Amino acid sequence: MNVLGVSAYYHDAAAALVRDGEVVAAAQEERFSRVKNDPALPTRAIEHCLAEGGVATDGIDAVAYYEKPLTSFVRVLKTFTAVGPRGARSFPRAVGEMVRRKLWISYEVERVLRTLGFARPRQTIFAEHHVSHAAAAFYPSPFASACVLTFDGVGEWATSSIGVGRGRRLDLLQEMRFPHSIGLLYSAFTHAAGFKVNSGEYKLMGLAPFGEPTYRDVILERLIDLRDDGSFTADLSHFDYLAGRRMTNGRFDALVGGPPRHPDEPIEQRHCDLARSIQEVVEEVVLRIACHAHDLTGESRAVLGGGVALNCVANGRLRREGPFTDIWVQPAPGDAGSALGCALWAWHEVYEGERPASCRADGMAGARLGPAVDAGVVAAELEAADRPFVRIADPDERARRVARLLADGAAVGVVQGRMEFGPRALGCRSILADPRDPDAQRTLNLRIKQRESFRPFAPAVLAERADEWFDVDGGFDSPYMSFVAPVRGAEVAAATASRAADLTERLAEVRSPLPAVTHVDGSARLQTVTAERAPELHRLLHAFDELTGCPVLLNTSFNVRGEPIVCSAEDAYRCFMLTDLDHLLIEDCLLDKRAQPAWTGPGIDRIDD
């Protein structure tokens, strides 16, 4: 039985195909359209999923959508009724968007399917938004039963939920409701720090270690009333998101010492302090909800979904200090992952299908669910375009060659296997470098990624060696970069001596055996690599370890600021030629920048990211 899941018309549109409970394919539309966080109906992602699954033209049993548009429409109407004239300017746009597109989603999907040559699905199913998040978190997890926690901006009405999953059953027990939302609160501070809402929240998380929690008490005393169970009531007089114009207002600005930073303005210490303050509040909220959920469900393990589950710092603290013995985080916990969640929910709850037996660590196949490239086709295209390369068919020799390049200081773009689903590059569409190089962090940020200098990079480490290089227990599992952990041997400069320094200078003050992946607080967003989940990256880490004695590589997504992660070989070559990357590996084809002809193709379209 084939169930096609779809999320669209907000941000991070995606499609996923589930067959008899197994995840067959999943991809975000942005990877094909090259529009970052593309909200459009995911036509090309749908096409990929159906092709990957070999679905017959009459073989789509059901389409599942990740929310209930009519319920969301009612929320929008009630919200604008409540705010009155303040919402007059935003009302036509918000309501018009729903009337034109969201309320007709089933017909829109059928139109796309007809265009692709597929018959009408036998049924269209609508799942509640937080049910989609919860299903994406629980059903692919390695747990037979678990407490289910979801946190985001808003679904229909829910903004956070507590549930329990057992076998094929998933039940949501409690929820926090709009307009009181941990996701919207965090987005308000994202806006205040000058980053784009629904896109720049990870930048705010990266900025937090540079600050002090100066505004923590202000948030807890003036902006929210936080209760013991983690639920809270926001003082809405400081926010403008109900009226739809902007996240905050003048009263908020007065509390935090000034108006929102313009994206072109420099980052000041106040912005760092705002980031640190809201980060600590989010961690406190998540911990309180988790403790309450543990008591409510009696479950010893937990799964996390929703956009706030991308906050790997909060996840790391929950893992260290929380009540659960084990935690699993969906690698695409945001709205993209909801396309997968609603399809899984339809299979298990609507059609009463059982969870498939599996010997894998989880049901996400290492998040390798997108399209792959054909090495033979790539080689032919490179030859036709007169782009010099060498083919290295033996995988062990290929790993040794690339490891030597990395050890010699090269930055290498890699396209191997199926593209990852979710916001993290996990070795299939990655840029790799030597984490021991103290200059690599600055070089990659400014000359290759072309982004803010304070942004940290993640280490990929052989799973069996993680506890040697990071302060984690043996058996620590973080295959999807979901958790932050301290770097062993890192020495952090005194905060009082560093506050006046430039952010890049403050990063340089940290002393670490892995300086390129150690953040200013001595931490790192960790990816543990096994041969089962990421065979090519695992082989390369072994080769690098044999050469250098270090089983760690710097791993960052293969893209530049403002663009999605690369998908195709041509995407990768273009990014390779327009940045200071030294080498490019596409399957078994290795390219040297110095040997390439001058680039005459399109440049990089700058957008506000």
Element (H, E) at 531: none
The pLDDT, as a whole number, for residue 583 is: 98
Q: Could you tell me which CATH number the domain at 182-327 has?
A: 3.30.420.40
Residue 104 φ then ψ, to 5°: -115, 25
Q: Max alpha carbon distance in the chain (Å)?
A: 68
Q: How far apart are CA 244 and CA 305, in angstroms?
A: 25
Q: What is the pLDDT of residues 10-65, one digit of tens each?
A: 989 999 999 999 999 999 999 999 999 999 999 999 999 999 999 999 999 999 99
Q: Tell me the one-letter amino acid at 581.
A: L
If one counts every other C-beta atom within 10 angstroms of the C-beta of residue 428, the result is 22
pTM above 0.85, yes or no: yes
Q: How far is CA 278 from CA 207, 211, 358, 396, in A?
A: 11, 11, 40, 46
Under CATH, domain 375-595 is a member of which superfamily? Answer: Carbamoyltransferase, C-terminal domain (3.90.870.20)
Other beta carbons within 10 angstroms of residue 93's beta carbon come to 9
- Give the model's pLDDT for residue 608: 47
Secondary structure (3-state) at 433: strand
Residue 377, sorted as left (phi over 0), alpha (psi -120 to 50) or beta, turns out to be alpha
Domain boundaries, the chain: 2-139+333-362, 182-327, 375-595
Structure tokens at 601: 């193709």
- Specify the CATH architecture of the domain 2-139+333-362: 2-Layer Sandwich (3.30)
DSSP string, 387-428: ---EE---HHHHHHHHHHHHHTT--EEEE-SSPBSSS---SS
pLDDT, position 358: 57
Domains 2-139+333-362 and 182-327 are alike in CATH topology: yes
What is the model's pLDDT at position 503? 86
Instruction: Report, as ranges of residue numbers, the positions in the chain whose pLDDT lies below 50.
Output: 359, 496-497, 606-608
